[in-house]
A and B are shown apart, each in its own frame.
Chain A
């Protein structure tokens, strides 16, 4: 082979080396998948550049260099060489996103969206790959003046959005949520306030949870949950249950039976951090939840409206007796169970409490060791339901 022919072939090799993900498509399915993903992410400008390069046959590579017929030096096309005056625009998205923007604080991303359309598209399309700011709290609520409308509004600590955006339609709201959490990751509490329709935002929330933007520890439902199914809630929580510690349903929540189920709770508790379930509205849980609930430090169960039986509570106390040794916890059930339970078990201590909202309540204490004022104890509270 002449030196010139070799150099031509080698130029082709070098160029094609950069598109190796494309030419290996046929034999490697993982690479094929990766290449398809990369291709979908590319801008039209980049795609056109690669389309031009497809003239380079992959078969010219590896062992077939001798088949290259071109003579003379490589003819350079404008897309193949770096334009002296515009080196930045030729930086591929992979450099801008994975090497430069990756190293800029997420706090600045909002500003960078304004730099140019290209930056806006890069920041939006590659948001999943970029670092996120930690968000400790978010509440979904409707403002007082809109309380009678069916629309909701994103609120909480995003005061500006709450004041400025009057999105009253679900699709807009979904967009607002996605945009709001584009460069943030929820690590604390999410609350759905009274009157808010959860079904309007469930789909974007599932999407965000799937992409690990919702890593909350607490979730509180005070909202309207009509139209929400157990399956949807299960999907949402399945993506963010690894850090979930607390689920509450508030007094004013509009929730029917069969949304929060024993099976749903069982799917959450397997992830290990779940410790508190406070239900101020009946959701239809049974003894099964008591049987599976983890007895970890400061566990807290408020199940006064649920279908709990004396034998279920008895089994729970027996399980605590076998497993506890280290931790204390609290279980609240309906006062109607107090009398039947007296026939099954005797507490170490009974005390009467008085609260401003419930009046007088009774609390039984188990496993109190004489002389040891420290936990572990099991507190069994009775409240009217």
Chain B
């Protein structure tokens, strides 16, 4: 078992099976690098993750610890000579499993927690969790108005009226297509 500590004061500690915690590529690499240390006795501090978020992370990795490992695509280096069609590097379609749909903090009042979860998944390199979270957000903003997207993402309209008008004119081409 591995202990993970949140960044709260005092830190909140969670004990997680090693198999589950190794779904995080960051922690897995660290454990491999520190082979020989007694990691079961030493809590691992996660300075970027608070307790509620870490609790979600732990819940997710415990649920998915027996999933088959995701197939990683080899990174394609930039190659100007490649004339093939350029859509090969797009992310594959992600389907959010039923359990994950219920697990994700999707209520309006929880959306900040969802973004914190995405941040933590990115920080800990838990790609499948990052994928389903981002897929959820992408689906949520798809087809919505500018105002709705701003509201959902807690973003302020930081354009001046003149800038906004100019930009609207510049992108007017897309409206009628």
Which size bracket describes the interface of A in this complex? 35 or more
Chain B residues within 8 Å of A165, by CB: 169
Q: Residue B112 at the A interface, CB < 8 A?
A: yes
**Are A160 and B173 also in contact (CB < 8 A) when A87-B119, A102-B90, A116-B157 are?**
yes
- The reply to whether A104 and B141 form a contact with Cβ atoms under 8 Å apart is yes
Question: Interface segment, B14-22, B55-63, B64-72, B131-139?
Answer: B131-139
Q: Residue B109 at the A interface, CB < 8 A?
A: no
- The reply to whether A117 and B158 form a contact with Cβ atoms under 8 Å apart is yes
Chain A residues within 8 Å of B172, by CB: 160-161, 164
- The reply to whether A82 and B116 form a contact with Cβ atoms under 8 Å apart is yes
- The reply to whether B47 and A115 form a contact with Cβ atoms under 8 Å apart is no
- The reply to whether A115 and B85 form a contact with Cβ atoms under 8 Å apart is no
Residue of B nearest to A164 (CB): B172
For the complex, what is the distance from the CA of A158 to the CA of B174, rounded to whole Å? 8
Chain A residues within 8 Å of B91, by CB: 98-99, 102-103
A303 to chain B, nearest CB (A): 27
Q: Residue A180 at the B interface, CB < 8 A?
A: yes
B100 to chain A, nearest CB (A): 15
**Are A103 and B138 also in contact (CB < 8 A) when A11-B47, A80-B47, A158-B173 are?**
yes
A221 to chain B, nearest CB (A): 22
Residue of A nearest to B153 (CB): A88
B16 to chain A, nearest CB (A): 16
Task: Identify which of residues 97-150 in chain B touch chain A, using a CB-to-CB cut-off of 8 Å.
Answer: 112-113, 115-116, 118-120, 122-123, 130-131, 134-135, 137-139, 141-143, 145-146, 149-150
Chain A residues within 8 Å of B143, by CB: 105, 108
Q: Residue A376 at the B interface, CB < 8 A?
A: no
State the interface size on chain B (CB cutoff 8 A).
68
**Are A116 and B155 also in contact (CB < 8 A) when A158-B173, A160-B173 are?**
yes
Chain A residues within 8 Å of B116, by CB: 82, 84, 87
B131 to chain A, nearest CB (A): 7
For the complex, what is the distance from the CA of A278 to the CA of B24, rounded to whole Å? 59
- The reply to whether B159 and A105 form a contact with Cβ atoms under 8 Å apart is no
A106 to chain B, nearest CB (A): 9
| Contact pick for A108, options B87, B142, B157, B170, CB 8 Å | B142
Q: Residue B164 at the A interface, CB < 8 A?
A: yes
Chain B residues within 8 Å of A241, by CB: 83
| Contact pick for B174, options A102, A110, A210, CB 8 Å | A110
Residue of B nearest to A6 (CB): B42
Residue of A nearest to B53 (CB): A82
For the complex, what is the distance from the CA of A212 to the CA of B84, rounded to whole Å? 9
Chain B residues within 8 Å of A339, by CB: none
Task: Identify which of residues 29-55 in chain B touch chain A, using a CB-to-CB cut-off of 8 Å.
Answer: 29-30, 33, 42-50, 53
- The reply to whether B169 and A164 form a contact with Cβ atoms under 8 Å apart is yes
Chain A residues within 8 Å of B95, by CB: none
| Contact pick for B7, options A76, A95, A131, A210, CB 8 Å | A76
- The reply to whether A111 and B145 form a contact with Cβ atoms under 8 Å apart is yes
Q: Which 3 A-B pairs have CB atoms at the shortest separation, nearest pair first? A: A110-B174, A103-B138, A99-B134
Residues of B at the A interface (CB closer than 8 Å) are 7, 26, 29-30, 33, 42-50, 53, 77, 80, 83-87, 89-91, 94, 112-113, 115-116, 118-120, 122-123, 130-131, 134-135, 137-139, 141-143, 145-146, 149-150, 153-159, 164, 167-177
| Further pairs besides A91-B122, A111-B149, A159-B176: 11, Cβ < 8 Å | A11-B47, A81-B48, A84-B50, A87-B118, A94-B122, A102-B138, A110-B173, A110-B175, A113-B171, A114-B171, A116-B159
